[in-house]
Amino acid sequence: MPEMEIVTTCDPGWAALGASAHQALLPGSLRRLHQAILAYFLDHGDAPGPSWLHAQAGRLGLEPSAAHADLAAADLVHLDQAGRVAVAYPFSGVPTGHRVQLRSTPAVWAMCAIDALGIPQLAGRDGILTAADPHSGEPLRVEATGRDWRWNPPATTVLMAQASTCDSSALCSCPHVNFFARADNARSYLDSHPDLTGQLLDQPTAVELSRMLFGSLLYPAEGEDQAPATTET
């Protein structure tokens, strides 16, 4: 089998599969509910529960159950059985291997490596990302300061892999999109998981992809002056 090359150019078509593209198709009130959920994670470092979600939907003139079903159908937000947010890309409502500590805010969990890179860009804040190489167990750290990204180990790469039969990104892709201390570790991981297909991304490509997917999620829609819905209770 030929050695998998590292992708060094971000395919613009990837953005059409991500959260920003899905959010752009939502009607205004539903988009603002989505933005409020994301802002809640940033403000609290945790996932909103059912009472907050119900109240927030009502303030926006939405029927809560229908709104949550619409966000799930758009693969933007998924609730657990208790009605609490389990997934709101790029955030995870449960612990994962990807932790993001932004400046002056609580730490949050990200769904995967690309999502972790997207959180500082979504928030417009500096941050520190920590994870572990799934192949070797080595600790990994990425520091985002403005447009400067510092990676440790310096050879860290990102494997963007997915399973072939899944219903949502949370199940199909997120468990398999990880930082690796070196490219050979990522190749070994992929070789040991024949059910996965994937690509290796260099650091600038991974950062650019995360910006495309998540960087504009809290922006008002084109032609809309209203700010995202508040997270106040």
- Which pLDDT value is given to residue 200? 95
Query: pLDDT, tens digit, for every residue of 51-71?
Result: 999 999 999 999 999 999 999
Residue 110: pLDDT band with limits 50, 70, 90: very high
Instruction: Give the list of residues 6+ apart from residue 143 with CB closer than 8 angstroms, or none.
Output: 126, 127, 128, 129, 149, 150, 152
Ordered domains of the chain (ranges, CATH) = 9-214 (3.30.450.410)
Task: Classify residue 181 by its DSSP letter.
Answer: S
Q: Please, is 223 exposed, middle or buried when counting C-beta atoms within 10 Å of its C-beta (0-12, 13-18, 19+)?
A: exposed
Query: pLDDT, tens digit, for every residue of 145-169?
Result: 999 999 999 999 999 988 876 666 7
Backbone angles phi, psi at 145, to 5 degrees: -130, 105
Alpha-carbon span 230 to 220, nearest angstrom: 13
Q: Which amino acid is at 192?
A: S
C-alpha dist (Å) from residue 198 to 6, 148, 159: 11, 27, 7
Q: Which amino acid is at 46?
A: D
